[in-house]
Amino acid sequence: MFLAKIDKRRYKLKITDIRIHVLKSALAEPFAFSQGWVRSRSATLVEVLTDAGLIGWGEAFAQGLEPPEIAAAAIEHALKPLLLGADPLDTEVLWHRMYHATRDYGRKGSVVAAISAVDVALWDIAGKAYAVPIYQLLGGAFRSRVEPYATGFYRIHGQGEAARLAEEAIRHHESGFRLMKVKLGYGVDDDIACMRAIGRAIEGRDITLMIDTNHAYGRAAALHLGRALADYKLRWYEEPVVPEDLRGYGEMRDKLSMPIAGGENEHTLYGFRELFAAGAVDVAQPDLGSCGGISAARHIVALAQAHGVAVNPHVWGSAVAQAASLQLIAALPLPHHSLFAQEPVFEYDRSSHPFRQQLITRPIEQHGGWVTIPSGHGLGIEVDRAVLERYRV
C-alpha cells in the first residue's frame, strides 16, 4: 500500500528530524559482571522522522558501565546535521557519509554505536516504506523462529555464589531455556567452583552451556579456565581475552577444544576484517547497536561467510535492540550447511531491566523454548511512548 504512495514521490523521502531519548532506571539490586557493578539500566534510543510521517527506531548499545549520553551527544552533534533533509532509503550512502565524517574521531566505541542506532532506524523506515520486514530487504528469512539462550549468572555479592548460581540454572531451564550463558571472570578458582556446582545441578537435563568472562583474564588464566572446562561440551567460550589481543584469541583457538566467540566490542567491516584475518573466532558476535547497525552487519556477515566463521549477534539492550537482532538472525546464512546444521541462537539477557519488556506494545518473549521473529514492517515493533516519558533522563 505504501509503495503506491512512494511511487508518486519517485521513491523519495526526506528526513525531517532526529530525536534522541536517553532512558535510565536505577536497579533495586545492583549486579556485577567481571568488569564492574551495574547500578542502573540505560538506553540511548533514536527516532528518525520523515516528511511522509514514517518513523524509524534504533538503539545504541549501552554496556552496563557506559554512560548513554556519549552516543546521544554523537548523534545530536555529529550525525544529525549530516542527515537532515537526506533520503532515509539511501541506507548504504548514509552509512558511509556518517562513517567518513567521523573517521578521525570515531571508528570504534560510542561513535560507531551512535551510527548503529541511526542506521537501524533508517532500515526500520525502509521496511515500513516498502511494507516488508527488514529481513526481506536483506534477502529473505532463512528461519521464522530462533531458540533463545539465557544470559545470566551475574553476581550480587562477588565471589562464592556457586550454590545460588546452580539454582539459577534450574530456574532458567524451568522457564523454558535449554541454552544458557554463564558469566565468569571473577577469579579462575571461583569460576571453576561455580561451573562444577552448575554442572552437578543440571546433570541429566538437556541443557547446553556457554561461558563469557568479558575479557577478564590474560592468556595464561584464560587457557587455564578453558582447559578446566574442556568436558562441559560448551557451545562457545566468549571474550576469553581483551579485544585488542587478536593473537591471544588465536592461541585460545589453537589450544582449546571449544569454539571461541567474540566481537561485541568490535566494530564495522574494518574491525571484523582484522578479527577474521587473525583467525581469532569461530563465532563472530557483532551487536547491532555498536557494530555499525544493519548496514555494517551486512558487510560483516559477508566477510564472515568468506572466512567460514559463524555469525551470532550479541544483544544486551532494550526491546528495540532485541528486535534488530531478530531481523538480522532471520536473514543469516549458515557458513557450514548440512541437514542438521547448528542454527544461530538469540541472546536473551535475564538480568534486571525495568523497561525492556514495557518499551514495546508486544514484548519479545519465548514460548515453548522459541522466539518468533516479528514479521511486521521494518523492525516489526511499536514503541510505547508513555514508557519513554517514564524513564527519560
Closer residue to Ca ion in complex, CB, 59/87: 59
136-144 LR contacts (CB < 8 Å, sep 24+): 138/294, 138/298, 138/327, 138/328, 138/330, 138/331, 139/331, 140/331, 141/330, 141/331, 141/373, 142/330, 142/331, 142/332, 142/333, 142/334, 143/329, 143/330, 143/343, 143/373, 144/330, 144/372, 144/373, 144/375
Closer residue to Ca ion in complex, CB, 47/212: 212
How many Å apart are CA 205 and CA 117, to the nearest integer?
Answer: 39
Sign of the alpha-carbon torsion through 274, 276, 281, 283: positive
Identify the H or E element spanning 190. Answer: helix 188-202
Question: Nearest approach, Cβ of 212 to Ca ion (angstroms)?
Answer: 4
Which residue lies nearest Ca ion, judged by its C-beta? 212
Closer residue to Ca ion in complex, CB, 33/232: 33
Q: Return the axis-axis angle of helices 319-330 and 293-307, rounded to nearest 10°.
A: 40
Question: Nearest approach, Cβ of 129 to Ca ion (angstroms)?
Answer: 34
For residues 56 and 16, is the Cβ–Cβ distance under 8 A?
no
In sequence order, what DSSP letters do the residues of 291-347 get, joined into one string?
SSHHHHHHHHHHHHHHHT-EE--B--S-HHHHHHHHHHHHTPPPSS--TTPPPPEEE
Closer residue to Ca ion in complex, CB, 119/212: 212
Question: Nearest approach, Cβ of 33 to Ca ion (angstroms)?
Answer: 8
Question: Nearest approach, Cβ of 12 to Ca ion (angstroms)?
Answer: 41
Active-site residue 172, yes or no? Answer: no
Closer residue to Ca ion in complex, CB, 80/155: 155
Question: Nearest approach, Cβ of 285 to Ca ion (angstroms)?
Answer: 7
Closer residue to Ca ion in complex, CB, 147/266: 266
Q: Choose the catalytic residue: 314, 336, 337, 353.
A: 314
Which residues are at the interface with Ca ion (CB under 5 A)? 212
Question: Nearest approach, Cβ of 183 to Ca ion (angstroms)?
Answer: 8
Which residues are part of the catalytic machinery?
314
